[in-house]
């Protein structure tokens, strides 16, 4: 301490002279001067070398290194811990030089895992195309064979959707469907990859010589190679594929024979590909392709699948309901207002919700089956024809229709799309909802619309100026940036003319009306009606309850003492809705004089709404927004 480290001539510090005794300090007085310490770099380098050698020896001891072997630079492999089977320790994008054998003795000759070499030499770096994050493609002039099966990163999804492949079919009169026999087995494996596919049987250890079915990257590898073969021989103009199914479409019979001959030559040249004759259909005007029936430029659901859906009985538990909705969902693009129809069934799938099968659920169940049994027809997509997108939205659901003109010039549906609105989307204003419908439709039909000019039809006139308006904010600004990748034109369509898409938002759903009857108990209404002095001459009595008949609706007359309770229950039960929603909820079932005004006053004075809801008001102009004028005197 400072007072102990500065003694006087007599050997005592000032504090010791005052106290009359020695003071025990925590720090001794520095008697000598510290000498600087010089670092010997050679000693440190020797210690570092011993440390690295010790780490390598320890690794060899615990991980079972047997020998070293030079490998191909840039090869992607797994690094695993033999003590924990399948546990990935690290992803290594660099060349490897150490070879580690792991696993049981029967696998020791075949299952090999690699660790990175200590030094990375730039001259070993290979050219790669990293257009897909996490996966490296070989250069264009490299061998297009099978990449390592045990790669550390999954191969990107290079196979198309089933619905996209079916609608990619050309509307030509002559069609052939061919099926490859054991498709994956047509692709041979590299020699260095065969040992990775080893498996044990009673007769010994075997290795795959061809691409097996059980590996994670096998589907992407197979589809990538089939697509390369078709593009290499310029067959993509008349043939489309989905895994091992290949569809061939031609305008005339002679042209179809030429296309078939070209496909057969390709099968003979490319690794001797074999077709399964029992699954092939040649030169027909109607075929079943990927679960759809294609005929004369139109596409409909397969009859066999429709018959199985038609025979389904009402579900008795959630598992059966999920199975039914899964079967119907495969053909949702054929059903107009699909999300709106299945909304009652969606309510039964919510968490902690018991399966209570009501008449409304039965109606939705039968309607979905009838929509498919009546054989809905969609027109096959033709890239030469113009595209029209009709979209609309409500707080219940979002819907869109993709159309193209047919031979007579009338617009015919190519695909339907609809989904229920999410909970947070129900708070959007009308402009945001309509714009959301456009964004959602373009996401769904991206396969058809990207790179082509098309027309968007909407019944919200404000969105016509979406591309030209300035100073957009919030969601509209983000969505306008997203739409900028498309080449489109927005046209206003009157709501009455936009019948198909506008069906979702034209009428209020019965969901609100069904719940509104539980706002009051009938016994309570009877008691308070008898206590209140109501003019019985204006109303009718049904089961001792006063009602008012208005526009073929019987509305319960609410006495003055229960009006606030009705408003309070409706406002809290349905999530504090606004004035118009409250009117739509209450007025179909209840009545009293000046009910709309009372609802408006109640909502405006709700404490919860005032604290949590953002008040929407007109923009207040500032002085900087006004142009300054100079006057000359």
Read off the pLDDT of residues 389-428 as tens digits, 9 standing for 90 and up: 988 888 888 888 888 887 777 787 887 788 888 888 888 8
What is the DSSP code (8-state) at residue 289?
A: E
What is the DSSP code (8-state) at residue 81?
A: E
Q: Is the pLDDT of residue 138 over 50?
A: no
Q: Is the pLDDT of residue 467 over 60?
A: yes
Q: How far apart are CA 161 and CA 240, in angstroms?
A: 12
Q: How confident is the model at residue 105 (pLDDT cuts 50, 70, 90)?
A: very low
Q: How confident is the model at residue 308 (pLDDT cuts 50, 70, 90)?
A: low
Q: Report the length, in residues, of the chain.
A: 633
Q: Is the pLDDT of residue 120 over 60?
A: no
- Parse the chain into domains and list their residue ranges: 3-63, 75-116, 216-301, 307-506, 522-612
Provide the pLDDT for residue 291. Answer: 63
How buried is residue 378: exposed, middle or buried, by Cβ count under 10 Å (0-12/13-18/19+)?
Answer: buried
Q: What is the pLDDT of residues 231-248, one digit of tens each?
A: 787 777 777 777 777 878
Q: Is the pLDDT of residue 489 over 80?
A: yes
Least confident of 223-237, 586-600, 616-630: 616-630
- Determine contact, residues 154/88, Cβ cutoff 8 Å: no
Query: Which whole number is the average pLDDT over 480-500?
Result: 77
Provide the pLDDT for residue 35. Answer: 55
Q: How far apart are CA 256 and CA 260, in angstroms?
A: 6
Q: How far apart are CA 194 and CA 186, in angstroms?
A: 15
In terms of Cα–Cα distance, which of 188, 186, 212 is closest to 276? 186
Beta bridge partner(s), residue 116 = 96
Q: In what order do the strands lie in the sheet with 298-301?
A: 286-289, 292-295, 298-301, 378-379
Provide the pLDDT for residue 495. Answer: 64
Least confident of 255-259, 324-328, 455-459: 324-328
Cα separation of the two ends of the chain: 83
Query: Does domain 522-612 fall into CATH 1.10.340.70?
Result: yes
What is the DSSP code (8-state) at residue 514?
A: H
Distances, alpha carbon 376 to alpha carbons 156, 303, 324, 409, in Å = 35, 11, 19, 20
Region of 455 please: left (phi>0), alpha (psi -120 to 50) or beta. beta
Instruction: Specify the pairing of strand 553-557 against strand 540-542.
Output: unpaired
Strand, helix or coil for residue 544: coil
Q: Print burial letters for 191-226: b (CB count within 10 Å at least 16), e (below 16).
A: eebbbbbbeeeeeeeeebebbeeebebbbbbbbbbb
Kindly state the percentage of the chain with pLDDT values over 70. Answer: 62
Instruction: For the chain, state the CA radius of gyration.
Output: 38
Q: How far apart are CA 173 and CA 33, in angstroms?
A: 102
Q: How far apart are CA 583 and CA 588, in angstroms?
A: 8
- The backbone torsions φ and ψ at residue 96, rounded to the nearest 5 degrees and listed phi first, read -115, 150
pTM over 0.85: no
- Determine contact, residues 225/254, Cβ cutoff 8 Å: no
Instruction: Specify the pairing of strand 487-492 against strand 590-591.
Output: unpaired
In terms of Cα–Cα distance, which of 254, 262, 276 is closest to 174? 254
Q: Is the pLDDT of residue 561 over 80?
A: yes
CATH number of 307-506: 3.30.420.10
Query: Which whole number is the average pLDDT over 257-265?
Result: 82
Q: How far apart are CA 627 and CA 633, in angstroms?
A: 19
Provide the pLDDT for residue 156. Answer: 46
Q: Is the pLDDT of residue 81 over 50?
A: no
Q: How far apart are CA 114 and CA 72, in angstroms?
A: 12
Q: How far apart are CA 70 and CA 93, in angstroms?
A: 16
CATH-assigned architecture of domain 216-301: 2-Layer Sandwich (3.30)
Q: Is the pLDDT of residue 321 over 70?
A: yes
**Which of the given ranges, 39-48, 292-301, 414-423, 579-588, has the highest pLDDT on average?**
579-588
Query: Which whole number is the average pLDDT over 529-556?
Result: 78
Strand, helix or coil for residue 297: coil
Q: How far apart are CA 509 and CA 632, in angstroms?
A: 64
Q: How far apart are CA 273 and CA 225, in angstroms?
A: 12
More confident position, 136 or 233 = 233
Q: Is the pLDDT of residue 55 over 60?
A: yes
- Determine contact, residues 398/419, Cβ cutoff 8 Å: yes
Distances, alpha carbon 616 to alpha carbons 425, 429, 447, 515, 610, in Å = 17, 10, 38, 29, 12
Provide the pLDDT for residue 124. Answer: 34
Provide the pLDDT for residue 410. Answer: 78
Q: Is the pLDDT of residue 115 over 70?
A: no
Strand, helix or coil for residue 311: coil
Q: What is the pLDDT of residues 504-521, one digit of tens each?
A: 344 333 333 333 446 777
Q: How confident is the model at residue 560 (pLDDT cuts 50, 70, 90)?
A: confident
Provide the pLDDT for residue 146. Answer: 43
Provide the pLDDT for residue 616. Answer: 62
How buried is residue 415: exposed, middle or buried, by Cβ count under 10 Å (0-12/13-18/19+)?
Answer: buried
Strand, helix or coil for residue 630: coil
């Amino acid at each position: 301490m400072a007072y102990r480290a500065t003694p006087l001539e007599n050997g005592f510090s000032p504090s010791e002279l005052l106290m009359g005794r020695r003071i025990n300090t925590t720090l001794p007085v520095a008697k000598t001067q510290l000498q600087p310490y010089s670092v010997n770099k050679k000693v440190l380098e020797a210690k570092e070398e011993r440390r690295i050698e010790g780490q390598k020896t320890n690794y060899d001891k615990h991980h079972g290194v047997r020998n070293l072997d030079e490998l191909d630079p840039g090869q992607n492999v797994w690094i695993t811990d033999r003590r924990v089977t399948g546990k990935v320790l690290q992803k290594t994008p660099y060349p490897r030089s150490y070879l580690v054998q792991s696993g049981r003795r029967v696998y020791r000759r075949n299952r090999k895992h690699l660790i990175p070499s200590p030094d990375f030499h730039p001259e070993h770096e290979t050219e790669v195309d990293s257009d897909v994050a996490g996966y490296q493609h070989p250069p264009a002039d490299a061998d297009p064979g099978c990449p390592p099966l045990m790669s550390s990163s999954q191969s990107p999804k290079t196979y198309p959707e089933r619905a996209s492949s079916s609608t990619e079919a050309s509307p030509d009169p002559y069609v052939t469907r061919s099926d490859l026999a054991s498709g994956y087995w047509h692709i041979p494996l590299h020699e260095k990859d065969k040992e990775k596919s080893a498996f044990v049987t009673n007769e010994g250890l075997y290795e795959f010589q061809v691409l097996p079915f059980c590996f994670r990257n096998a589907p992407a590898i197979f589809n990538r190679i089939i697509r390369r073969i078709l593009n290499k021989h310029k067959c993509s103009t008349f043939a489309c594929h989905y895994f091992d199914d290949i569809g061939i479409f031609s305008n005339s019979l002679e042209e179809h024979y030429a296309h078939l001959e070209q496909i057969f030559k390709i099968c003979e040249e490319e690794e001797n590909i074999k077709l399964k004759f029992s699954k092939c259909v040649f030169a027909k005007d109607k075929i079943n392709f990927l679960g759809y029936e294609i005929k004369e430029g139109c596409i409909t659901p397969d009859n066999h699948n429709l018959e199985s859906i038609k025979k389904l009985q009402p579900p008795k538990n959630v598992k059966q309901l999920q199975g039914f909705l899964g079967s119907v969902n495969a053909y949702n693009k054929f059903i107009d207002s699909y999300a709106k129809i299945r909304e009652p069934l969606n309510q039964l799938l919510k968490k902690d919700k018991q399966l209570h099968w009501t008449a409304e659920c039965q109606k939705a169940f039968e309607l979905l089956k009838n929509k498919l049994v009546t054989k809905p027809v969609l027109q096959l997509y033709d890239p030469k024809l113009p595209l029209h997108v009709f979209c609309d939205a409500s707080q219940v659901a979002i819907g869109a229709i993709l159309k193209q003109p047919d031979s007579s010039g009338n617009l015919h549906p190519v695909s339907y799309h609809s989904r229920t609105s999410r909970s947070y989307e129900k708070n959007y204003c009308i402009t945001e909802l309509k714009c959301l419908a456009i964004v959602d439709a373009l996401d769904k039909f991206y396969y058809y619309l990207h790179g082509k000019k098309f027309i968007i039809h909407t019944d919200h006139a404000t969105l016509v100026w979406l591309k030209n308006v300035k100073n957009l904010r919030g969601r509209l600004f983000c969505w306008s940036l997203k739409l900028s990748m498309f080449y489109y034109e927005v046209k206003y369509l009157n709501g009455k003319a936009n019948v198909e898409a506008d069906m979702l938002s034209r009428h209020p759903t019965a969901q609100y009306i069904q719940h509104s009857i539980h706002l009051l108990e009938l016994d309570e209404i009877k008691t308070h009606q008898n206590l209140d002095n109501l003019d019985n001459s204006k109303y009718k009595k049904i089961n001792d309850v006063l009602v008012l008949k208005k526009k073929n609706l019987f509305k319960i007359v609410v006495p003055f003492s229960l009006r606030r309770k009705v408003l309070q229950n409706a406002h809290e039960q349905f999530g504090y809705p606004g004035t118009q929603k409250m009117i739509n909820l209450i007025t179909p079932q209840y009545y009293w004089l000046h009910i709309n005004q009372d609802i408006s006053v109640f909502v405006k004075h709700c404490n919860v709404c005032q604290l949590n809801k953002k008040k929407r008001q007109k923009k207040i102009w500032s002085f900087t927004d006004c142009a300054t004028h100079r006057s000359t005197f």
